Amino acid sequence: VNYAAPVTLIRAVLPDMLKSKKGHIVNINTIGGLYAAPYNGAYCASKWALLAYVESLAYELESTNVHISSLFPGPIDTRFLSNPNFENFRKSPNIVSPNYIAQKVLSVIDSPKERVFIGSLFKLLVVKIANFNPRFFRKIIEKKNTPPQKLPPGE
């Protein structure tokens, strides 16, 4: 869903955007789309795949008036975080509301940027460190990503 659904939607709307010579595709990605997190390999891989696809497409669309943006928020206060495995994220001081994300989407449409990081400067620096020293970064991120808890039957 994290990769196939956006790609399918992009392929459906892109021809009309190109025909009308305008448009903006905005993907909600995650910092997990820039690094690997323990116990979240498939999720991170799907977000990396989406990022690679849209950034490749952005190169192809450079000479058009169709823009592509990827937003990288931290935890968003939705029911998704009600899973017991996301307790650390629910308690994050950087948690944002869905309305805040919607405002960021509107802002990036008004002023196109390819990558938009939402959250603290510290988070952005940590992601940069991850690129230079993945092993060190894994030790930091392991504290946020605890092993999954088994859910009771039926949940």
Phi-psi region of 147 (alpha: psi -120 to 50; beta: other; left: phi over 0): beta
As a whole number of angstroms, the distance between CA 28 and CA 80 comes to: 14
Please answer whether residues 44 and 35 qualify as being in contact, where contact means their C-beta atoms are separated by less than 8 angstroms.
Answer: yes
3 belongs to the catalytic site: no
Which helix (H) or strand (E) segment is 58 a member of?
helix 41-60
As a whole number of angstroms, the distance between CA 109 and CA 105 comes to: 6
The active-site residue, picked from 3, 35, 39, 43, is 43
* Active site residues per annotation: 43
